[in-house]
Amino acid sequence: MKSLRKACRGQKGFTLIELLVVIIILGVLAAVVTLAVTRFIGKGVLESANAELRTVQTAVEAALGEANASQFDDPGGDGTYAWDGSLESSPICTVGDNLTVTAYEMMRTHKLKAVYTIERDGDVINGNPNDSHPDTTPWGGTKIQWNSDTDEWERAGA
């Protein structure tokens, strides 16, 4: 036993307190990094929603421009469309006798993550990410809503 004590006397190492201080510092750094990353993810969700909205608005305007029309057809008579990105629900302009132009034809992708309310004149006035297309999911499950004052999506309750 005496020989073991003699062998350990000259060795240097970290004390328990020094190790605890290092672990606490690493924990604080991990917490700060986690908070910063989650903010970026939340901002990305909103940017994704705004990008999709701009894509929908561009497709709607392109359909009106292609048909040289100022309004879409109004088969339901209520003045709006609920468009989920499908051909069946797409706003339609009739040109001449048989030719039709749809917003669906102007889209590069047809898997929207929300259902958009579009007026006859082509304004996208609302979107509901909870009634999403069956092949996609809403933006990360984050509850977002349309703000008509800023014409952008925002986090619900913000």
For residue 41, tell me if it sits in a domain. Answer: yes
The verdict on residue 1 lying in a domain is: no
85 within some domain: yes
**Strands, E, within 17-143: which ranges?**
80-83, 92-95, 99-102, 115-119, 124-128
pLDDT digits (tens, 9 = 90+) for 55-113: 899 999 999 999 998 899 887 778 888 888 888 889 999 887 778 899 999 987 778 88
Residue pair 83/115 in contact by the 8 Å Cβ criterion? yes
pLDDT in tens, 81-93: 888 888 888 999 9
Residue 153 is assigned to a structural domain of this protein = no
- The answer to whether residue 40 sits within a structural domain is yes
d(CA 143, CA 14): 48
Dist. CA 125–CA 46, nearest whole Å: 17
Domain residues for the domain of 90 are 17-139
Residue 65: inside a domain: yes
Please give the model's pTM, rounded to 2 decimal places.
0.67
Count: domains in the chain: 1
